[in-house]
Amino acid sequence: MTQPKERRTTPAVSVRTIGAERSGVDVSGVDVSGVDVSGVDVSGDAVRVVALQNAAFSQSWNLADMRRILAIPGAIGLIAEADSGDGGGPAVGFVVVQRLADQAEIISIAVAESWRGHGVGERLMRAAMASAIVVGACEMFLEVAEDNMAALALYSGLGFEVVGRRSKYYSRSDGTRADALSMCRVLVIEEGEEV
Ligand SMILES: CC(C)(COP(=O)(O)OP(=O)(O)OC[C@H]1O[C@@H](n2cnc3c(N)ncnc32)[C@H](O)[C@@H]1OP(=O)(O)O)[C@@H](O)C(=O)NCCC(=O)NCCS
């Protein structure tokens, strides 16, 4: 008989909406290298999300991109922070979702490298799905490189299925290209299912 899967312990992390900012934030631990912070308030969430995005992806965002994306009607941004006891823990991941009519699309998701494999990505995805349901989405779509095993495992584990492929969609710094897989999940919560 197959043994039930042992639940991994998720470190204490809180997920909240980007922009519902804390006051008196300490940004001393935030890596803002490569982020244009001239003339902006670096205590904001935007700088944290840009730093997480740029550490995870070669296609970088700047603060203006970030603010533009979050200002689009239907955009939902969520940030995960480590619980430090005093409410001032570091940002460890984020997800940005775009809702259009009854469909939602994952625009980006990333977890800080040292925090990966501890359930933060799953927490963010579940929060993203729950938020999308609240604003009226019935389906969620995303695109993922066919060789991104961590992301594929995360999405498959949450019930996303491959519905399409874009040939050579992503270009890599070494000159190679990778296909994008389009994945989809119906946002209907089954009885007893946790989202
Ligand atoms: C993809 C990403 C967000 C996953 O975040 P994470 O916090 O590490 O994911 P979780 O710890 O919640 O893992 C969720 C599931 O994904 C799978 N998974 C995570 N990392 C994995 C890895 N390196 N290899 C295989 N499976 C992995 C596991 O099945 C895990 O569930 P389980 O341990 O209960 O079986 C993270 O790896 C990341 O930020 N990557 C860089 C950015 C990126 O690729 N974003 C996605 C673009 S489409």
Provide the pLDDT for residue 6: 55
Q: Exposed (0-12), middle (13-18) or buried (19+): which is 7, by Cβ within 10 Å?
A: exposed
Which residue, 61, 64, 53, is CA-closest to 91?
53
Largest CA distance in the chain: 61
Strand 177-186's sheet: what is its strand order? 13-17, 75-82, 91-100, 103-111, 139-145, 177-186, 161-171
Q: Are 139 and 164 in contact (CB under 8 A)?
A: no
Q: How many CA atoms lie within 13 A of 16 on its CB side?
A: 16
Tell me the best of 6, 94, 116 to mutate to test the pocket of ligand 1, counting ligand atoms within 8 Å of each CB and taking the most. 116
Choose between 93 and 1: higher pLDDT: 93
pLDDT digits (tens, 9 = 90+) for 26-76: 444 445 455 444 444 545 788 888 999 999 998 788 888 888 888 888 899
Spell out the residues 6+ positions from residue 194 whose beta carbon is closer than 8 angstroms to its own: 126
How far, in Å, from the CA of 116 to the mean position of ligand 1?
Answer: 6
How far, in Å, from the CA of 118 to the mean position of ligand 1?
Answer: 8
- CATH class of segment(s) 13-21+42-186: alpha beta
Query: How does the average pLDDT of the chain come out, rounded?
Result: 82
How far, in Å, from the CA of 110 to the mean position of ligand 1?
Answer: 9
Q: Are 88 and 48 in contact (CB under 8 A)?
A: no
Residue boundaries of the structural domains of the chain: 13-21+42-186
Distance of CA 81 to the CA centre of its chain: 12
Give the C-alpha separation, 135 to 101, whole Å: 9
pLDDT digits (tens, 9 = 90+) for 78-122: 999 988 766 567 889 999 999 999 999 999 999 999 999 999 999
How many other CB atoms sit within 10 Å of the CB of residue 100?
Answer: 12
